[in-house]
Amino acid sequence: MAVEIIFPRVDMDMASGRFSRWLVEEGGAVGKGDPLFEIETDKAAMEIDAPASGILRGIRVAEGEEVKVGEAVGWIVAEGEAWQERVAPAPIAEAPIAAAEMPAAAPAPVAPVAPSAPAAAPAAAMLRATPLARREARRLNIDLGQVSGSGPRGRIVSEDLRAVASVPAPPRIEPSMEPSVEPSIEAPPKRPAGARLHRQWSGAGDGVPLVFLHGFGADGTGWRPVWRGLDSTHRLLAIDLPGHGRSKPQAPICFDGLVDAVQSVLDEEGVRRCVLVGHSLGGAVALGLADAGVVDIRALCLLAPAGLGPEIDGAFLSGLVRATRAESLAPWLLRLVADPALVTPGFVRATLQASDAESADYRRRLIDSVFPDGTQAISLRHVLPQLAMPARIVWGTRDAIIPASHAAHLPGRIGLHRLDVGHMPHLEAPRLVAGLIAEAARSAVP
């Protein structure tokens, strides 16, 4: 029997929302509780899980379409069941839905509320400037305290430094990346709305927000298994890095550009203080933010972070961006985990669907910049002894992508957790990792 897929009410005063995208194609198989589609309201974006197992049929809405609460957006039928187009019922929008009737697939995200101002920080840490601007200031011997920022919330960007020093702007990136890549990530007011990085909030707690940064080739949805193991004390924010997930490629294509991009999201969302959780490349970005000193980071939890040594599996990186079919992608994904059973056909399909030609080209260029010749060109080990906040590192002893030996000789105040897993602790041991993240949050500087 066909099961209607209803556009849900995820907020008590919600009458409609924007349909973002289907996560399963027409005629595709889906299991009950699997992510089925994404929606956006004026407060948040979230994934909606399938109400039943079966085959997706009769898709009625397209990406970007405004849909009323209660409207049928498609159906799920049993495998082999004859299908005939149904007529959508009238939208249900007159009466609010009781809490017990609301979808139980995922906690409803809430609009981010600016946290209370952090405790007084040293003047140097309160000066808002991007990492690129700080590097430019050192090169040009310019006092940042004498520069007016044109970025969001008065943040100083590298263009401000060039204006002060009358230095011409660097050449634009290669024409092959245009026009999809914007001129500069450092001037959000000049970028169209489509250039904003995709982000997703979840949870309704009033604690310090937990911000999650994924690794190379992944996206924010990879944190869902861990999120299920966290309580409601904190609001959770996952950010898709440029050229990953639903975030478009952006310039400049370099490590500092990634750090600036995430810092821009935190500015836009009003996040003044947070607990940062980063995996692999996202862990390196988290350390880059800590090094920049413009975000009040209360605690760090890093999973197999990049930037602590030169070795990395370059063949895996290039194989990941080259693969265009499940048959060529699956062998590389198997290198990520110690248990091959975790690399399911659905996982492979989802990874393929998360990349297009534009994003794949961006990632190839990012590899050339950050991991040239199978080597980590970024070095962030010097940041560890300088960390003022509690920090812990989680690493799989069977990591085949970044050697677990990079976690050797850490400063004594940094906690180290070695797990019997591969490069994806949050996928391979989500409950344990959720507990470690919760402990990191509890240890956060008040």
Q: What is the DSSP string of 145-182?
A: GG----SGGG-B-HHHHHHHHTPPPPPPPPGGGTTTS-
Residue 132: predicted pLDDT: 67
Give yes or no: residues 247 and 341 share one domain: yes
Give yes or no: residues 300 and 161 share one domain: no
Among residues 292, 228, 274, 281, which one has the least CA distance to residue 255?
Answer: 281
Given a contact cutoff of 8 angstroms between Cβ atoms, the answer to whether 43 and 26 are in contact is no
Domain boundary among 143, 171, 199: 171
pLDDT tens sequence across 336-371: 999 999 999 989 998 988 888 999 999 999 999 999
Q: Does residue 288 belong to any structural domain of this protein?
A: yes
pLDDT tens sequence across 175-233: 333 333 333 333 333 333 335 899 999 988 888 999 999 999 999 999 999 999 998 88
**DSSP letter (8 states) at residue 89:** P
- Burial class of 125 by CB neighbour count within 10 A (0 to 12, 13 to 18, 19+): middle
Residue 140: predicted pLDDT: 78
- Percent of the chain having pLDDT more than 90? 48
Average pLDDT estimate for 317-335: 96
Q: Does residue 401 belong to any structural domain of this protein?
A: yes
Q: At what angle do helices 281-292 and 255-268 cross, to 10 degrees?
A: 70
Residue 152: predicted pLDDT: 54
Q: Does residue 107 belong to any structural domain of this protein?
A: no
Give yes or no: residues 158 and 219 share one domain: no
The number of distinct structural domains making up the chain is 3
Is the preceding omega at residue 168 within 30 degrees of 0, hence cis?
Answer: no
Reported as type and span, the H/E element at residue 140 is helix 131-140
Q: Does residue 77 belong to any structural domain of this protein?
A: yes
Give yes or no: residues 72 and 187 share one domain: no
Q: Is the pLDDT of residue 77 over 50?
A: yes
pLDDT tens sequence across 251-285: 889 999 999 999 999 999 999 899 999 999 999 99
- Percent of the chain having pLDDT more than 70? 77
pLDDT tens sequence across 110-155: 444 444 333 333 333 345 667 667 767 777 788 777 788 776 556 6
Reported as type and span, the H/E element at residue 395 is strand 391-396
Give yes or no: residues 48 and 159 share one domain: no
Cα 434 to the center of its chain, rounded Å: 17
Q: How confident is the model at residue 433 (pLDDT cuts 50, 70, 90)?
A: very high
Please give the mean pLDDT across all residues of the chain.
Answer: 81
Give yes or no: residues 384 and 243 share one domain: yes
Domain span including residue 130: 126-171
Q: Is the pLDDT of residue 244 over 90?
A: yes
Give yes or no: residues 293 and 429 share one domain: yes
Residue 142: predicted pLDDT: 82
Q: Does residue 118 belong to any structural domain of this protein?
A: no
pTM: 0.63
pLDDT tens sequence across 25-34: 888 888 887 8
Q: Residue 199 maps to which CATH number?
A: 3.40.50.1820
Give yes or no: residues 220 and 256 share one domain: yes
Structure token pair of residue 283 = 């862990």
Give yes or no: residues 167 and 184 share one domain: no
Partners of 418 in beta bridges: 395
Q: Is the pLDDT of residue 427 over 90?
A: yes
Q: Does residue 115 belong to any structural domain of this protein?
A: no
Q: Is the pLDDT of residue 41 over 90?
A: no
Q: Is the pLDDT of residue 385 over 70?
A: yes
- Burial class of 364 by CB neighbour count within 10 A (0 to 12, 13 to 18, 19+): middle
Q: How confident is the model at residue 107 (pLDDT cuts 50, 70, 90)?
A: very low
Contacts of 138 (CB under 8 A, 6+ apart): none
Least confident of 28-42, 140-154, 298-312: 140-154
Residue 62: predicted pLDDT: 86
How far, CA to CA in Å, does 331 sit from each of 76, 244, 340? 32, 21, 10
